[in-house]
Structure 1
């Protein structure tokens, strides 16, 4: 956090975000913390710092041919062993929307209404208006 300016550090301190929590922030979180175009460069610099450290943390340490390398970790967190860790399964929300059945409202376009009106009056003109429903 030494690379950050005073205002960025003060905003992060006010939000109780320490260096360990900083790496869990998303771009949306940064937009919420630093809203507006005047803070764009601040959030961009912070994102670059977070993503740069994230890339460095994912690089394996140098190990001999028979040794297992550990993934470099952040300060204070235990090392991660790539061969023994289990993948995290993220559940994604459903991407389809369930509409109520039957629908509360039906919206027709002007063209559909005009066609229904013409059909109804044609049926009424031939004496079969009972067969058509509006």
Structure 2
């Protein structure tokens, strides 16, 4: 079993894929044939920090998982429970939560965000 700390943002999607695959009695080869996504890519959903929407779409389509549900499970979009109450998203919070950035990238993005915020407020 993958430790919680080792799970990537798409772990829940991977678990659903494996469940659907088992229900259909599909081997990894059959899932590859149906989706066009390699076994390594599918298994990488467990721990990979980033997943492509096209990959999620291909697998979801092969297994008849609605794309919107698949995107939530894969961590590409927040679930309805996680949606902010306002339409305007806080950019700083989005940068902090986005698993696509490593620590160095996140720090750079936050510096840019703060620079733009100061500029927009008329500060130097």
Q: Shorter-normalised TM-score: what interval?
A: 0.3 to 0.5
Higher relative contact order, chain-length normalized (CA < 8 Å, sep 6+): 2
TM-score with structure 2 length normalisation? 0.34
TM-score with structure 1 length normalisation? 0.32
Which structure features the higher share of helix residues? 2
